[in-house]
Amino acid sequence: MIKNLTCIVCPVGCNLEAEVEGNTVKKVSGNECKRGDLYARSEIAQPVRTLTTTVLTDDGRLLPVRTDKPIPKDLIFECMKEINRQTVSLPIKIGDVIIENIVKTGANIISSKNMR
């Protein structure tokens, strides 16, 4: 089976073609560098994403936050449910941990901004 993907590792956005047999990637083409090959193999085995979103603060504003490392794509909805239940007390500094080990992914939700 052929799977078509767009590499998101850099802004070039190469169109990748992965030959997949069962759970194994046999060949990747269309990549302009090795990172595209690694991306296609990882994306097919277990897609991951860095989650960026906002969380409500105690004064009603929204604080931009993100995961400190990529998390499995299929857990993003569950993570969003947990984030949406939170309210953050200000002040907050960039990099402060808002939620530790969210949904047991090993990733923390951290602040992307200083906010008073």
Dist. CA 108–CA 115, nearest whole Å? 19
Query: Minimal distance in Å, beta carbon 112 to ligand SF4?
Result: 24
* Residue 18 CA: distances (Å) to CA of 4, 65, 92: 6, 33, 43
The counts of H helices and E strands in the chain are: 2, 10
**Single residue of 26, 33, 61, 62 touching ligand SF4 by CB under 6 A:** 33
Nearer to ligand SF4 (CB atom), residue 10 or residue 97: 10
The contact mask relative to ligand SF4 for 2-21 (x = CB under 6 A, - = no) is: -----x-xx-xxx-------
Nearer to ligand SF4 (CB atom), residue 31 or residue 108: 31
| Residue 35 engages ligand SF4 in binding (rule: CB under 6 A) | yes
Closest to 94 measured CA to CA, from 65, 73, 71, 70: 65
Dist. CA 115–CA 42, nearest whole Å? 36
**Single residue of 4, 24, 26, 32 touching ligand SF4 by CB under 6 A:** 32
Q: Which residues bind ligand SF4 (CB under 6 A)?
A: 7, 9-10, 12-14, 31-33, 35-36
